[in-house]
Amino acid sequence: MTLKEQLEGKLIVSCQAYPGEPLREPHITAMMAKAVVEGGAAAVRVQGIEDIKATAEAVTVPVVGLWKDGHEGVYITPTPQHARACAEAGADIVAIDATDRPRPDGSSFADCVRATHEAGALVMADCSCLDDAVRAEADGADFIGTTLAGYTESRPKTEGPDLELVKEVLGAVTKPVIVEGRIHSPEDLKAVMELGPCSACVGTAITHPTSLTKWFVAKLPA
Ligand SMILES: CC(=O)N[C@H](C=O)[C@@H](O)[C@H](O)[C@H](O)COP(=O)(O)O
């Protein structure tokens, strides 16, 4: 079965803790990944070389790996070197920022795609808008993700998933589309999947207890 077939109509779960957080440990990420696979996740998305290594050893489902370096501008797998390292750590698919913003080493998205393919992995293009998606497909991306919608100047940040962008992207590309970003409930996921993407990726609403707790605390009486 191809990776696309494995993901078709299925849920990917992103298992990430952020720098300085209590759960920011590779073995915890790997156990979180195992837990979501038991719940039916068909693949997991994991950040950081050590987390990718630990998770790839712990689960048998495909691993979407990325390396976040910094938190401004292009920080999701910003260079071919980062992309290669993710693939060598065991990522089956490497998620890469596909915006046209400058990269720290002057490389291009197409350079990152080439390096990833040479290292034997596929590419998920993390896009912020329709232009990114169309360019990413032309540059050889294997999967088109909507991960960065609402996180650049290109589009406003929608409350839930950016359904308008999803529709636009689905009408413009032929590569499989993975919807990601602010899918906060099973109902959001249902609305997303009714549009017909290949699959969807949920992070915070499943694997980030600090955010989840805040959502509940915000509903307490003042
Ligand atoms: C913009 C950015 O850096 N997104 C990151 C990409 O890996 C993660 O922080 C998100 O949690 C992930 O995209 C899943 O989205 P959500 O947590 O909304 O379900």
In order of start, what are the domains of the chain with their CATH numbers?
3-217 (3.20.20.70)
Amino acid identity at 172? A
Q: Is the pTM of this model over 0.90?
A: yes
Which ipTM did the prediction report? 0.98
Region 188-200 average pLDDT: 98
Q: What is the dihedral of CA 48, 49, 54, 59, to 10 degrees?
A: 80
Phi then psi dihedrals of residue 108, to 5 deg: -120, 170
Q: Give the pLDDT band (50/70/90) at residue 8.
A: very high
Question: Over the stretch 127-184, which tens digit does the pLDDT of each residue have?
Answer: 999 999 999 999 999 999 999 999 999 999 999 999 999 999 999 999 999 999 999 9
- CB–CB of 172/183 below 8 Å? no
- Ligand 1 centroid to Cα of residue 204, in Å, is 7
* CA-to-CA separations, 31 to 34, 201, 214, in angstroms, rounded: 5, 18, 23
Three-state secondary structure call for residue 96: strand
Question: Is residue 35 exposed (0-12), middle (13-18) or buried (19+ Cβ within 10 Å)?
Answer: middle
Whole-number pLDDT of residue 156: 97
The reply to whether ligand 1 has any atom less than 6 angstroms from the CB of 74 is no
pLDDT in tens, 85-133: 999 999 999 999 999 999 999 999 999 999 999 999 999 999 999 999 9
Distance 181 CA to ligand 1 centre (A): 6
Pairing of strands 143-145, 122-126: parallel
CA of 180 to the centre of ligand 1 (A): 7
Residues 103/78, Cβ–Cβ less than 8 Å? yes
Q: Compute the distance between CA of residue 87 and CA of residue 63 in angstroms, rounded to an integer.
A: 10
Q: What is the pLDDT of residue 106?
A: 97
The predicted pLDDT at position 38 comes to 98
Tens-digit pLDDT profile for residues 10-55: 999 999 999 999 999 999 999 999 999 999 999 999 999 999 999 9
Residue written as token pair 């003042």: 222
Q: Check: CB of residue 86 under 8 Å from CB of residue 121.
A: yes
From the CA of 46, how far away is ligand 1's center (Å)?
10
Q: Which of 14, 21, 99 to mutate to test the pocket of ligand 1 (most atoms within 8 A of CB)?
A: 14
Task: Give the gyration radius of the chain's Cα atoms.
Answer: 16
Task: Give the count of alpha carbons within 13 A of 3, CB side only.
Answer: 23
Q: Please give the pLDDT value at position 197.
A: 98
